[in-house]
Amino acid sequence: MDLFLPEDVLAKISYTSRFTQSLKTISLRKTPLEDILKDIESYRALYSSEIVRQENVIGSRFKSVDSILRKYEKTLKTGGGFKQCFNDVLGFRLHFAEYPTEFPDYFRVVDLRNGKQIDDGYRAIHLYYQRDNHSYPIEVQLWCGEDYKFNIWSHKLVYKYLEPQLGNSLYQEYRQGKILTEEDFKNKLLELKGSE
């Protein structure tokens, strides 16, 4: 069995946008949000999770409308484009004991093992598959090693809900061995929130 989602499987679950131009050239500001949401809903309706069968898949999801709207507003504020905003409409999480060092060439690799630009403690490697410029990218997140547990706790209790600095502080405590369980994580989070 392949460690990564195979290219033929990714191609089957890929969706060609109903917009007639490359996703790189679509104006986020000039394209009605309603049209974008209809296009994504068409993708959702055609997708079958039965195609993806792999042991190390720990999660998959279509981005919720609420998450899409939040990311859309944020992308408009920062001046980002359509492809940046909708790079993860469909996503998967894979778990490995350790981070792989080599990746199939059909993926674009984004290494977040040292954190994001605004560090919220999240660590991973993201792989992006895009069949062609008219298809939405598919995001594959690799949650590996010690980062695996932290990411689970963080996504449940901190990510998208609280300030990034809290997540970063929690990660530092985790890496120092001061957080060993989800209960430790919750207690430390309460402590940090109380000291704000």
Domain boundaries, the chain: 7-145, 149-194
Are the beta carbons of 71 and 85 closer than 8 angstroms?
yes
- Round to whole Å and give the CA distance between 137 and 132: 9
Taking only the tens place, the pLDDT of each residue in 140-159 is 999 999 999 999 999 988 87
Other Cβ atoms closer than 10 A to 93: 20
Answering whether pTM is above 0.85, one says: yes
How far apart, in whole angstroms, are the C-alpha atoms of residue 84 and residue 140?
15
The yes-or-no verdict on residue 2 having pLDDT over 80 is no
CA 128 to chain centre: 10
* 8-state DSSP, 135: B
Burial degree of 152 (CB within 10 A; 0-12, 13-18, 19+): middle
State residue 1's pLDDT score: 41
